[in-house]
Amino acid sequence: MRKHFLGDTAVLLGRSMTHVTRSVDTIITTAIMPVAMMLLFVYVFGGAISTGSPSYVTYLLPGILLITVASGISYTAFRLFTDMKSGVFERFHSMPIARSSVLWAHVLTSLVANLISLVVVVGVALIMGFRSSAGILAWLAVAGIMILFTLALTWLAVIPGLTAKSVEGAGVFAYPLMFLPFLSSAFVPTGTMPGPLRAFAENQPVTSIVNAIRALFTESPLGNDIWIALGWCVGILIVTYAFATAAYRRKIA
Protein backbone atom coordinates (compact mmCIF):
# COMPACT_ATOMS: atom_id res chain seq x y z
CA MET A 1 0.00 0.00 0.00
CA ARG A 2 2.85 2.35 0.87
CA LYS A 3 4.59 1.59 -2.44
CA HIS A 4 1.30 2.21 -4.23
CA PHE A 5 0.96 5.59 -2.51
CA LEU A 6 4.55 6.62 -3.30
CA GLY A 7 4.25 5.61 -6.95
CA ASP A 8 0.93 7.42 -7.41
CA THR A 9 2.27 10.53 -5.70
CA ALA A 10 5.38 10.54 -7.91
CA VAL A 11 3.30 10.35 -11.09
CA LEU A 12 0.95 13.13 -9.98
CA LEU A 13 3.92 15.22 -8.82
CA GLY A 14 5.36 15.00 -12.32
CA ARG A 15 2.04 16.19 -13.73
CA SER A 16 1.91 19.19 -11.38
CA MET A 17 5.54 20.14 -11.97
CA THR A 18 4.92 20.10 -15.73
CA HIS A 19 2.11 22.61 -15.23
CA VAL A 20 4.40 24.80 -13.11
CA THR A 21 7.20 24.87 -15.69
CA ARG A 22 4.72 25.78 -18.42
CA SER A 23 3.27 28.67 -16.40
CA VAL A 24 5.41 31.75 -17.00
CA ASP A 25 3.43 33.91 -14.58
CA THR A 26 4.09 31.42 -11.77
CA ILE A 27 7.84 31.60 -12.34
CA ILE A 28 7.76 35.40 -12.52
CA THR A 29 5.71 35.79 -9.34
CA THR A 30 7.54 33.27 -7.19
CA ALA A 31 11.12 34.15 -8.14
CA ILE A 32 11.37 37.47 -9.93
CA MET A 33 9.06 39.46 -7.62
CA PRO A 34 11.10 38.73 -4.45
CA VAL A 35 14.31 39.44 -6.38
CA ALA A 36 12.89 42.79 -7.52
CA MET A 37 11.92 43.60 -3.93
CA MET A 38 15.43 42.75 -2.75
CA LEU A 39 16.97 44.97 -5.42
CA LEU A 40 14.65 47.82 -4.44
CA PHE A 41 15.38 47.66 -0.72
CA VAL A 42 19.13 47.18 -1.08
CA TYR A 43 19.85 49.77 -3.76
CA VAL A 44 17.10 52.34 -3.13
CA PHE A 45 16.37 52.19 0.61
CA GLY A 46 19.41 50.35 1.94
CA GLY A 47 21.61 53.42 2.26
CA ALA A 48 19.08 55.13 4.52
CA ILE A 49 18.40 52.12 6.78
CA SER A 50 20.64 51.53 9.78
CA THR A 51 20.69 47.92 10.96
CA GLY A 52 24.11 47.64 12.54
CA SER A 53 25.07 45.13 9.88
CA PRO A 54 27.93 45.91 7.46
CA SER A 55 25.90 44.44 4.57
CA TYR A 56 22.22 45.25 4.26
CA VAL A 57 21.64 42.44 1.75
CA THR A 58 22.89 39.97 4.37
CA TYR A 59 20.53 41.47 6.93
CA LEU A 60 17.63 41.53 4.45
CA LEU A 61 17.94 38.08 2.84
CA PRO A 62 16.17 35.98 5.53
CA GLY A 63 13.04 38.12 5.25
CA ILE A 64 13.10 37.96 1.45
CA LEU A 65 13.31 34.17 1.65
CA LEU A 66 10.13 34.08 3.74
CA ILE A 67 8.37 36.44 1.33
CA THR A 68 9.40 34.16 -1.54
CA VAL A 69 7.65 31.22 0.10
CA ALA A 70 4.57 33.27 1.04
CA SER A 71 4.32 34.37 -2.59
CA GLY A 72 4.80 30.88 -3.98
CA ILE A 73 2.27 29.02 -1.87
CA SER A 74 -0.62 31.10 -3.23
CA TYR A 75 -0.27 29.06 -6.41
CA THR A 76 -0.84 25.87 -4.44
CA ALA A 77 -4.27 27.16 -3.47
CA PHE A 78 -4.89 28.26 -7.06
CA ARG A 79 -3.91 24.88 -8.55
CA LEU A 80 -6.02 22.98 -6.01
CA PHE A 81 -9.03 25.19 -6.65
CA THR A 82 -8.64 24.77 -10.42
CA ASP A 83 -8.44 20.98 -10.14
CA MET A 84 -11.47 20.89 -7.87
CA LYS A 85 -13.60 23.00 -10.19
CA SER A 86 -12.48 21.27 -13.39
CA GLY A 87 -13.44 17.85 -12.08
CA VAL A 88 -9.89 16.48 -12.20
CA PHE A 89 -10.12 15.33 -8.58
CA GLU A 90 -13.22 13.29 -9.33
CA ARG A 91 -11.53 11.62 -12.30
CA PHE A 92 -8.48 10.78 -10.21
CA HIS A 93 -10.60 9.37 -7.41
CA SER A 94 -12.41 7.11 -9.91
CA MET A 95 -9.05 5.49 -10.71
CA PRO A 96 -7.34 2.76 -8.66
CA ILE A 97 -4.92 5.18 -6.96
CA ALA A 98 -4.31 6.22 -3.38
CA ARG A 99 -6.67 9.10 -2.68
CA SER A 100 -4.22 10.94 -0.45
CA SER A 101 -1.63 10.95 -3.26
CA VAL A 102 -3.69 13.57 -5.13
CA LEU A 103 -3.32 16.03 -2.26
CA TRP A 104 0.29 15.15 -1.43
CA ALA A 105 1.31 15.71 -5.05
CA HIS A 106 0.16 19.34 -4.77
CA VAL A 107 1.98 19.76 -1.46
CA LEU A 108 5.25 18.34 -2.78
CA THR A 109 4.93 20.43 -5.94
CA SER A 110 4.76 23.51 -3.75
CA LEU A 111 7.82 22.36 -1.79
CA VAL A 112 9.92 21.67 -4.91
CA ALA A 113 8.86 24.84 -6.73
CA ASN A 114 9.52 27.01 -3.68
CA LEU A 115 12.93 25.46 -3.07
CA ILE A 116 13.88 26.27 -6.66
CA SER A 117 12.73 29.87 -6.16
CA LEU A 118 14.72 30.10 -2.92
CA VAL A 119 17.88 28.91 -4.69
CA VAL A 120 17.36 31.58 -7.36
CA VAL A 121 16.91 34.30 -4.72
CA VAL A 122 20.05 33.21 -2.82
CA GLY A 123 21.99 33.17 -6.10
CA VAL A 124 20.97 36.75 -6.88
CA ALA A 125 21.81 37.78 -3.31
CA LEU A 126 25.33 36.37 -3.78
CA ILE A 127 25.73 38.49 -6.89
CA MET A 128 24.55 41.53 -4.88
CA GLY A 129 27.19 40.96 -2.22
CA PHE A 130 25.67 38.50 0.23
CA ARG A 131 28.40 36.56 1.98
CA SER A 132 28.18 33.98 4.75
CA SER A 133 30.87 32.24 6.74
CA ALA A 134 28.36 29.61 7.85
CA GLY A 135 29.46 25.99 7.66
CA ILE A 136 27.60 23.10 6.10
CA LEU A 137 25.66 22.34 9.29
CA ALA A 138 24.42 25.92 9.53
CA TRP A 139 23.30 25.84 5.88
CA LEU A 140 21.53 22.53 6.49
CA ALA A 141 19.81 24.09 9.50
CA VAL A 142 18.65 27.01 7.33
CA ALA A 143 17.39 24.55 4.71
CA GLY A 144 15.54 22.60 7.39
CA ILE A 145 13.83 25.72 8.73
CA MET A 146 12.81 26.80 5.22
CA ILE A 147 11.43 23.34 4.42
CA LEU A 148 9.37 23.32 7.62
CA PHE A 149 8.17 26.87 6.96
CA THR A 150 7.24 25.99 3.36
CA LEU A 151 5.33 22.87 4.40
CA ALA A 152 3.50 24.79 7.14
CA LEU A 153 2.35 27.50 4.74
CA THR A 154 1.60 25.00 1.98
CA TRP A 155 -0.81 23.06 4.20
CA LEU A 156 -2.33 26.41 5.12
CA ALA A 157 -2.77 27.12 1.40
CA VAL A 158 -4.51 23.77 0.93
CA ILE A 159 -7.43 24.92 3.10
CA PRO A 160 -8.62 27.84 0.91
CA GLY A 161 -7.70 25.79 -2.17
CA LEU A 162 -10.29 23.22 -1.12
CA THR A 163 -12.92 25.51 0.40
CA ALA A 164 -12.84 28.80 -1.55
CA LYS A 165 -15.80 29.82 -3.68
CA SER A 166 -13.76 31.67 -6.31
CA VAL A 167 -10.26 31.84 -7.77
CA GLU A 168 -9.69 35.17 -6.05
CA GLY A 169 -10.75 33.73 -2.71
CA ALA A 170 -8.31 30.85 -3.13
CA GLY A 171 -5.29 33.11 -3.53
CA VAL A 172 -6.08 36.25 -1.57
CA PHE A 173 -5.11 34.69 1.79
CA ALA A 174 -1.43 34.90 0.78
CA TYR A 175 -1.33 38.71 0.81
CA PRO A 176 -1.38 39.08 4.62
CA LEU A 177 1.36 36.45 4.81
CA MET A 178 3.51 38.45 2.38
CA PHE A 179 2.89 41.61 4.42
CA LEU A 180 3.76 40.02 7.77
CA PRO A 181 7.59 40.23 7.27
CA PHE A 182 7.27 44.02 7.03
CA LEU A 183 5.99 43.98 10.63
CA SER A 184 8.99 42.04 11.90
CA SER A 185 12.76 42.27 12.17
CA ALA A 186 13.11 41.33 8.49
CA PHE A 187 13.81 44.85 7.19
CA VAL A 188 14.72 46.90 10.26
CA PRO A 189 15.52 46.10 13.91
CA THR A 190 12.38 45.91 16.02
CA GLY A 191 13.98 48.32 18.52
CA THR A 192 13.32 51.19 16.10
CA MET A 193 9.54 50.60 16.15
CA PRO A 194 7.00 52.34 18.41
CA GLY A 195 5.81 50.46 21.50
CA PRO A 196 2.66 48.53 20.40
CA LEU A 197 4.09 47.71 16.98
CA ARG A 198 7.37 46.62 18.54
CA ALA A 199 5.54 44.28 20.93
CA PHE A 200 3.68 42.70 18.03
CA ALA A 201 6.81 42.44 15.87
CA GLU A 202 8.86 40.78 18.59
CA ASN A 203 6.23 38.14 19.33
CA GLN A 204 5.05 37.09 15.89
CA PRO A 205 6.43 34.00 14.07
CA VAL A 206 8.36 35.78 11.31
CA THR A 207 10.71 37.64 13.68
CA SER A 208 11.97 34.53 15.43
CA ILE A 209 12.39 32.67 12.12
CA VAL A 210 14.22 35.60 10.53
CA ASN A 211 16.46 36.06 13.58
CA ALA A 212 17.34 32.36 13.64
CA ILE A 213 18.24 32.27 9.93
CA ARG A 214 20.22 35.50 10.22
CA ALA A 215 22.18 34.13 13.20
CA LEU A 216 22.96 30.95 11.28
CA PHE A 217 24.19 32.94 8.27
CA THR A 218 26.43 35.16 10.40
CA GLU A 219 27.47 32.50 12.94
CA SER A 220 26.03 34.62 15.74
CA PRO A 221 24.66 33.15 19.01
CA LEU A 222 21.27 31.58 18.33
CA GLY A 223 19.81 32.02 21.81
CA ASN A 224 16.18 30.96 22.04
CA ASP A 225 15.29 32.12 18.53
CA ILE A 226 16.03 28.75 16.92
CA TRP A 227 13.72 26.90 19.32
CA ILE A 228 10.97 29.51 19.04
CA ALA A 229 11.27 29.41 15.24
CA LEU A 230 11.05 25.62 15.17
CA GLY A 231 8.15 25.71 17.62
CA TRP A 232 6.21 28.11 15.40
CA CYS A 233 6.93 26.12 12.23
CA VAL A 234 6.04 22.74 13.72
CA GLY A 235 3.00 24.12 15.53
CA ILE A 236 1.60 25.80 12.42
CA LEU A 237 2.35 22.67 10.37
CA ILE A 238 0.47 20.38 12.76
CA VAL A 239 -2.58 22.65 12.98
CA THR A 240 -2.82 23.39 9.26
CA TYR A 241 -2.26 19.73 8.33
CA ALA A 242 -5.12 18.69 10.60
CA PHE A 243 -7.54 21.27 9.18
CA ALA A 244 -6.45 20.66 5.58
CA THR A 245 -6.85 16.89 5.74
CA ALA A 246 -10.23 17.28 7.44
CA ALA A 247 -11.36 19.62 4.63
CA TYR A 248 -10.05 17.14 2.05
CA ARG A 249 -11.95 14.23 3.60
CA ARG A 250 -15.16 16.27 3.52
CA LYS A 251 -14.59 17.07 -0.16
CA ILE A 252 -14.03 13.48 -1.26
CA ALA A 253 -16.64 11.92 1.01
98/110: higher pLDDT:
110
Whole-structure pTM value:
0.88
Is 1 exposed, middle or buried (CB count within 10 Å of its CB: 0-12, 13-18, 19+)?
Answer: exposed
Tens of pLDDT, residues 9-64: 787 788 777 777 777 667 677 778 889 999 998 888 777 776 767 788 999 999 99
Measured between alpha carbons, how far is residue 95 from residues 108, 111, 157, 213 in Å? 21, 25, 26, 43
The chain-wide mean pLDDT, for the chain, equals: 85
Q: Say if residues 74 and 34 touch (Cβ distance below 8 Å).
A: no
pLDDT reported for residue 176: 82
Residue range 220-235: mean pLDDT, rounded: 92
pLDDT reported for residue 7: 77
d(CA 48, CA 72): 29
Q: Which parts of the chain fold into alpha helices (H)? A: 2-22, 24-27, 33-40, 56-72, 74-86, 88-93, 99-127, 136-163, 167-171, 174-179, 195-202, 205-218, 225-252
